[in-house]
Structure 1
Amino acid sequence: MSTGTADSARGEFASLLRGLRGRAGLSQEELAHRAGLSVRAVADMERGRTRGPQRRTVAALVAALAPGEAGAEALERAAAGGRPRPRATPAAPAGLRLPRDVGDFTARDADLARLRALAVDPGTGDPPVVLVTGQPGLGKTAFAVRAAHGLAERYPDGQLAVDLHGTRTPPADPREVLLVLLRACGIAENTVPQDTEGRADLFRTVAAERRMLLLLDDAADEDQLRPLLPAAGPVLTLVTSRNALTGLEGAHRFSLGVLRREESVALFSRVIGPERVAAEAQAARDLADLCGQLPLAVRIAAQRLAARPQERLARLAAQLADEGRRLDALRAGDLQVRATFALSYGLLDPLARRVLRRATLAAGPDFSPQTAALLAGTTLREAERCAEELADRGLLQPDPAAERYRFHDLLRLFAAEQLAEDDPAGLARAQETTALWTLARATAAALHFDPERSPAGDPDRATAPHGTEEARSWLEEERAQWLDALGRALADGHHREVLDTAEAMHWFSDRAQEWEQWARVFLDSVAAARALGSRRDEAVHLNYLAWAYNLCVRDPASGLATARAALAVAREVGDLLQEGWAHGYGAGALQRLGRHEEAETWLEESADCHRRNPAPQARLAELSTLNALGAHLRSMGRAGEALDLHRRSEALCRVGIPGQSAELLALYRDNTFHHLARDLGGLERWAEAEPLLRRALVGFETAGMAAWSEPVRLDLAITLRRLGRSAEARAMLEAARRGLAEQSHPRQAEAELELMEAIRSGS
């Protein structure tokens, strides 16, 4: 359309609109209100400043003015005359055509089906915008291209693809992108406005009349993207971005994840052939795992193998198994995993880069913002901000339920390489600071479970756990971190801190007996005691270690050797309490080794040590030993003798122990009730056993002692079966089986057998 023709059309539309508004008796403000337009928009149209208003704008004016059929048609003709007329464009320019589809594209079937359904029925009147996001290397572009080719027939007016260079500096300017798009749509360059807003308005006008597919690849941010999005018409826009673009309104989001192992193996098969994969099936699975199921990494490995048809898959798997060589090996021509990650890393600000690379020093599979803050030497608030940004950019994976983050395996390797940017001495200081802070928090948290001491010494009272529930959650979530801190502090010579933390864990360890790591904790504390030259502490922590070997690791041979070492040190320093405990832990190991007569002798010696010791702590130890001796006698078929011993324990509980808390004495009392009930069961006095078991169960559940409550639940279920209360017994057996399995408790097999017997017998 010539400039003169367009000007004439605009003038005709303006004149018609002024006349119709006048006949309707409306002011510009009233017309704007009725039509849902701005007053400025109405004024510009009446002055001939607006190039051919869109059909929906004309429809809104007609609805407000009610000019009749002839008037409506005249208004639409005048508007259409002013709209830009594209030149004939049978195909998009070469630079804007869809990229080639990958013939061996694998997986994503469910996401592709969802996207096709969205194209058929967007669910709203607005043109659908599909946003495909995820970490680098997930194949976002390949997915969008596959979808675009599959949908091309639905968009006969064209399919345009633009690279927005979101991972480059600077990214594509939306003003320039709009010019390219308008030229591709056949708009003469000399009719295109100079400003971004004008170009965006013109592109929306053109797109509103077309059934078109638009692929905007590698978007940087919302500001770059918004001017490029059609506002009306049958246009489907596919956007890919490494960033979450959380501020983008109304988009249909597709967050891609890594492949499943079988999908990765399928991609290998498509690239190098199923026969080659079948010949080394395990190596193919290993390769998939070593690539972290990341599509880019899997494709690179596959294409390397395709270029070397004689190379064995196992050879490449062996190369990738070396973490130091893995990223070097994951390159094929111009495809490189490291380079892909580097694009995203280079766009981060200095603090975010420091948080990312130093977070690789965190122990365990995930980490908290607090750990990231300590390692990076920044505030918690800044670390939280950086972690959220890194998650939005696909460089960290947020936990769906907790404020914790994890790395993809390959991203962790890449980020760890960037530690070369840091001064080694500064890194060492950051790790030492983090370890000591973490140990102080762990010590304070563990003291929530110590009935004789109150929590103290937390390094940050504002974020400190409150109460046993929060304390346990922190100790569980940060287990890998404080265990690593314990070892690091030991290596750095902070022996007192190691010893204090392990001592604080003593009571908490009873509530988490299923943790095998307790042996590691007390190995470190024994080493710390020896480094400090404290023989008494050495005896104490050797006894803790013997307990861990017996109950947590279930290594009675090591338990016996450690108890003997504790006994020797205790005798050397004249510590009767630790001598008694050493006899008790040694007896437990001997019993597990099947040396029952020796175990009985050691238990009697333990009881004698405690009986001769006037200290209040010895009374608690005597209770424990009497209960253990009674349990041993019961296991030897001497339930009557066991019952007599446990009656003595019950008498000690009734008398009480000066200086001991009611909470602690309640635990010992409930433990004694459990033993008494088992003795009575051994004598088939089931009715007498039931109330004792119920009291013990309530007490342990109230105290949160699952390691003690679940065996009681099993014994109560057995008692109920013997009393003929089948339905109640079976429900309790099922609960006990679940609880014992969660702890990997030695009695879970017994629970399974009891439940199977109950099912078979119908009782």
Structure 2
Amino acid sequence: MRDGTPSTEDFGQRLRRLRTRAGLSQEALAHDAQVSVRALADMERGRTRGPQRRTVRALAEALGLDDDEAADLDSSAALGRPRPRPATGPAGPGTLALPRDIQDFTARGPALARLLELAREAAPDRPVVSVVAGQPGLGKTAFAVHAAHRLAPHFPDGQFALDLHGMDPEPATPRDALARLLGALGVADAALPAGTDDRAGLWRSLAGERRMLLLLDNAAHESQVTPLLPGTGPSLTLVTSRHVLAGLESVHRTDLALLRREEAVELLTRIIGPDRVRAEAQAARDLADLCGHLPLAVRIAGQRLLSRPHESLGKLVARLAAEGRRLDGLQAGNLRVRAAFALSYRQLPENARTLLRRAALAAGPDFSPETGALLAGLSLDEAVARAEELTDAGLLQSDAGAERYRFHDLLRLYAAEQTEAEDGPEARDAALDRTTHWMLRRATAAALHFDVGHERTTWPGDPDPDTAPTGRDEARAWLEAERSQWLAALRRAHETGRHREVLDTAEAMHWFSDLNQHWEQWVDVFRRSADSARSLGSRREEAVHLNYLAWAYNLCVHDPHAALRSADAALTAARDCGDGLQEGWALGYGAGALNRLGRADEAQERLREGARCLASQPSPQARLAELTMLNSLGTLLRQTGRAAEALDIHRRSERICHAGVPGRTREVIGLYHAVARQQIGNDLAALERWEEAEAPLRQALAAFEAAQMPAWAEHARLDLGQALSAIGHPEARETLRAARDALAVLRSPRQAEADAALTALGQAHAGT
């Protein structure tokens, strides 16, 4: 157009010609100009005919245009931009009328009540602003529209709604938004100031005179919203956004949670009617759960069912139960859960997108920044920054008390889809392998804090010594918080043939597992480690880990049949390689299983054989194993009516503890001594020497509690409660009740014993 003759080439054609001339692909130009590929494609196809000047300038710079060519490109874009409407008189209040309220709006009572309270309490000179933010699909706009209709009587000077298009490639500018707001107040186009600041000043002066309600829907960021907020006057502004808009000051925040299950079912009922829900009540509840109680998902499911009046709820439940088909099933017309998530995903920077989709590979209900960094291949600082960005965008939820993050169930499915689509199997496997190696090294280092043979506070094998847990408390906290992740890493290492890593980790967990007998996962850990030892051809390690497995079957899942099979296999392996220590342990674990199966005589014989075998071994490990064997033998004798003999054996155990075991700390020997004291107390109780039983049982309980060993402590508490009950002690009932509740949490079979003791105590008191 430099010669004054208008070009017949439209903006899209011109842009495509210039890109081709520059030898750039759409992806390359989009990257250099910092626009999305989709936005660029829409421009070239004529779907976006008049992009904003800043976008055109960025494209011109990326294309290397001179000033004249850049001006021509902008001129062709200007032809497609909306033209100002003719000034035909003041615009009426209906120009930005509120959208239609939905008749089946459900729940959100407390949030609505709070907004009503704010409206009533609004001061004449202090406008109220409430930000409604949260993840996609929470129903933010529906809530704000419903609230605006409810609040309308309090704002007689008008209710205006403006969509800020925060999810569009080019959100509304404050300047254009102010033009629409001023037009709604009757300002003619010709009277509009040219600059954004001047328009904002005029808007505030006019709005300050009115008691009005303003709904700013779908905000992109704070700088878009701030110029639109009234500065004075009794107005109320509702702002909805997928971002938290943390930079807005002096605002009220409305946090919308997921629906409760009953609220989700109520929404479904209002959409499809009560008859269908009553006819399939359980299916309705299952459907709400599969929708993750997300309002958008529930609404889509309801609309789908409404359009198919003869389709059962159970049929849709069966379809959605398959994770791979769930997002496909959650669409009805132009309502799609996947599309709602995609809008937010496409706007993320590259590293944030990578973190979101890779985090879907994490095991368990939540993940730490370290896990996210490993999976995404980012530094820890970068992962933390991106996770916070995703939280602000409503795509992740942060833990209230710890630096951990979690997905909504449907968002996790969407993120996993993106992993499959964008990363491919090689990148996915590399991320998982990297995370597996790091997690197992950290888990091994943390677990060794509890191993009596490793007194150091750190282990050279930790992958990041600067952030490694120091001391048992930190190590325990990490192992518990990351339990799902390191267990998943152990499984992957086993499945991919990294057997030495599996064995090292499982061996390090030996003492730590003893403190957490209520974890059923120990069966999986030691079953895999025993298999890894077998794969490596190490008969001695196979015996060790088969013994650990027998222990886990006996005490963690209470399966004596499986425990006996594992103990017998360990016994064979130990004898094959001539390991007397493991032979003794195998005899002991087998005896425990036999006793639980009601085969007490066989159990007693194995325990005596195991004690003899271990007594001949000179090592400190054999002394500790011998203590365990003696304590178990005494317990069995007491259970078969030979309490006096049991007391003698447990006194023998106590003498060994008093003498000490070379190379073992006082703390370790103290735990064995506590076990002996517990059994001595039980022996005395069996001999009806109740008063003498109380002291050793209290000592044992205190030792187990100090060592943070809940499974051991609660058994001792039950034993103490029974002794106190026999002597009529006032603490008996509370002690038994505490033991019963804790044993229930631990899934211990002795919960029934505690219930029976409480019942007997109640009957005794009633009789008295």
Does the 8 A contact of 2:288 with 2:298 survive in 1? yes
Aligned match of 2:438 = 437
AA aligned to 1:744 is R
1:717 counterpart residue number? 721
Q: Report how far residue 125 of structure 1 moved.
A: 4.4
- Within 1, Cα distance between the matches of 2:91 and 2:571? 93
Matching of residues 169-568 of structure 1 within 5 Å: 169-419=169-419, 420-453=421-454, 454=456, 455-456=458-459, 457-568=461-572
Distance 2:728 2:330 in 1: 66
Give the CA deviation at 1:191. Answer: 2.0
Give, as a single letter, the amino acid of the residue that structure 1 aligns with 2:390.
L
1:662 corresponding residue in structure 2: 666
**Is the contact made by 1:204 and 1:232 (CA closer than 8 Å) also made in structure 2?**
yes
Code of the aligned partner of 1:739: A
Q: CA deviation at 1:397?
A: 1.1
Q: Distance in 1 between matches of 2:258 and 2:303?
A: 19
- Do structure 1's residue 142 and structure 2's residue 142 form an aligned pair? yes
Distance in 2 between residues matched to 1:248 and 1:168, nearest whole Å: 21
Question: C-alpha distance in 2, partners of 1:222/1:760?
Answer: 68
Deviation, structure 1 residue 172: 0.7
Deviation at 1:713, TM superposition (A): 2.0
* CA-to-aligned-CA distance 1:56-115 (integer Å, 9 cap, x gap): xxxxxxxxxxxxxxxxxxxxxxxxxxxxxx97655321xx11111101111112211111
Residue 605 (structure 1) aligns with: 609
1:375/1:434 contact within 8 Å kept: yes
Q: Distance between the aligned counterparts of 2:623 and 2:462, measured in 1? A: 32
Equivalent residues of 1:271, 1:303 under 8 A apart: yes
2:442 alignment partner AA: R
Aligned partner of 1:496: which letter? Answer: R
- How far 1:731 sits from its partner (Å)? 3.1
**How far apart are 1:263 and its partner, in Å?**
1.2
- State the alpha-carbon separation in 2 of the partners of residues 651 and 263 from structure 1: 64
How far did residue 124 of structure 1 move?
8.6
Letter in 2 for 1:91: P
Superposition deviation, residue 561 in structure 1: 0.7
Runs (5+) with no aligned partner, structure 2 = 1-87
- In 2, Cα distance between the equivalents of 1:342 and 1:533? 50
1:750 matched residue in structure 2: 753
- Residue aligning to 1:44: none
> 5 Å matches for 1:103-118?
103-118=103-118
Please tell me whether the aligned partners of residues 526 and 538 of structure 1 are also in contact (alpha carbons under 8 angstroms). Answer: yes
Question: 1:748, 1:467 → 2: CA distance?
Answer: 33
| Greater CA drift, 144-153 or 710-719 | 710-719
2:733 to 730, 733, 745: 730
Percent identity of the aligned residues? 61
**Matches of 1:712 and 1:736, distance apart in 2:** 9
Q: Could you tell me which amino acid in structure 2 is paired with residue 92 of structure 1?
A: G
Q: Give the stretch that moved more between structures: 699-708 or 500-509.
A: 699-708
| SS of aligned partner of 1:744 | coil
**3-state SS, counterpart of residue 462 of structure 1:** helix
Q: For residues 158-208 of structure 1, what are the alpha-carbon distances to aligned partners after superposition, in whole Å with 9 as ceiling and x for unaligned? A: 111110011111111011100111011001222221111111110000001
Shift of 1:667: 1.1
Q: CA deviation at 1:744?
A: 2.3
Mapped contact 1:452–1:661 kept (Cα < 8 A): no
Counterpart among 638, 641, 648 of residue 644 in structure 1? 648
Q: CA deviation at 1:607?
A: 1.2
Given that 2:365 and 2:406 are in contact with CA atoms closer than 8 Å, whether structure 1 keeps it comes out as yes
Aligned partner of 2:94 in structure 1 is 92
**Rg comparison, structure with higher value:** 1
Distance in 1 (alpha carbons) for counterparts of 2:641 and 2:157: 89
Tell me the residue number matched to 2:744. Answer: 741
CA contact (8 A) 1:717 1:732 kept: yes
The question of whether the paired residues in 2 share the 8 Å contact of 1:355 and 1:373 is answered with yes
TM-score between the two structures when normalised by the length of structure 2: 0.86
Report the TM-score, using the length of structure 1 for normalisation.
0.87
| Alignment match, 2:16 | none
Q: What secondary structure is seen at the aligned counterpart in 2 of 1:218?
A: strand
Find the aligned partners of 2:393 and 2:167 in 1 and give their Cα distance.
11
**TM-fit CA distance, 1:493:** 2.0
Letter of the structure 1 residue corresponding to residue 577 of structure 2: V
CA, structure 1 residues 311+639, in 2 after alignment: closer, same or farther (shift >3 Å)?
Answer: same
Amino acid at match of 2:94: A
* 1:603 counterpart letter in structure 2: L
The Cα RMSD (Å) is 1.6
Q: Which residue of 1 aligns with 2:5?
A: none
| Match in the other structure for 1:38 | none
| Structure 1 residue 733 displacement after superposition | 2.6
Structure 1 residues 272-281 or 480-489, which shifts more? 272-281
Matched residue of 1:217: which SS? strand
SS of 2:93's equivalent in the other structure is coil
The answer as to whether partners of 1:571 and 1:579 remain within 8 angstroms in 2 is: yes
Displacement after TM superposition at 1:621 (Å): 0.9
For the pair 1:581 / 2:585, whether they are aligned, the reply is yes
Which deviates more from structure 2 when the two are superposed, residues 359-368 or residues 484-493? 484-493
- Does the CA-based 8 Å contact 1:87-1:185 persist in structure 2? no
Paired residue secondary structure (2:465):
coil
- Distance in 2 (CA, whole Å) between partners of 1:697 and 1:267 is 52
CA distance in 1, matches of 2:337, 2:373: 28
* Comparing 477-486 and 187-196, the one that deviates more: 187-196
**Runs of 5+ unmatched residues, structure 1:** 1-85
Q: 1:331, 1:306 → 2: CA distance?
A: 13
Once the two structures are superposed, what CA deviation does each residue of 1:459-510 show, in whole Å capped at 9, x if it has no partner?
Answer: 1122111211111111111111000000111122221111010001000011
Q: CA deviation at 1:423?
A: 4.2
Is 515-524 or 644-653 further displaced after alignment? 644-653
Contact preservation (8 Å) 2:171, 2:220: yes
Deviation at 1:755, TM superposition (A): 2.9
Check 1:193–1:267 CA distance in 2 against 1; reply closer, same or farther (3 A cut). Answer: same
Is residue 695 from structure 1 mapped to residue 702 from structure 2 by the alignment? no
SS at match of 1:402: coil
CA distance in 2, matches of 1:478, 1:256: 29
SS in 2 for 1:554: coil
Distance in 1 of aligned mates of 2:208 and 2:89: 16
- Contact 2:125–2:234, Cα closer than 8 Å, also in 1: no
**Corresponding residue of 1:154:** 154
Cα distance, 1:324 vs. partner? 1.1
Distance 1:200 1:235 in 2: 16
User: When the two structures are aligned, how many residues end up with a matched partner?
Assistant: 675
2:616 maps to 1:626: no
Which amino acid in the other structure matches residue 322 of structure 1? A
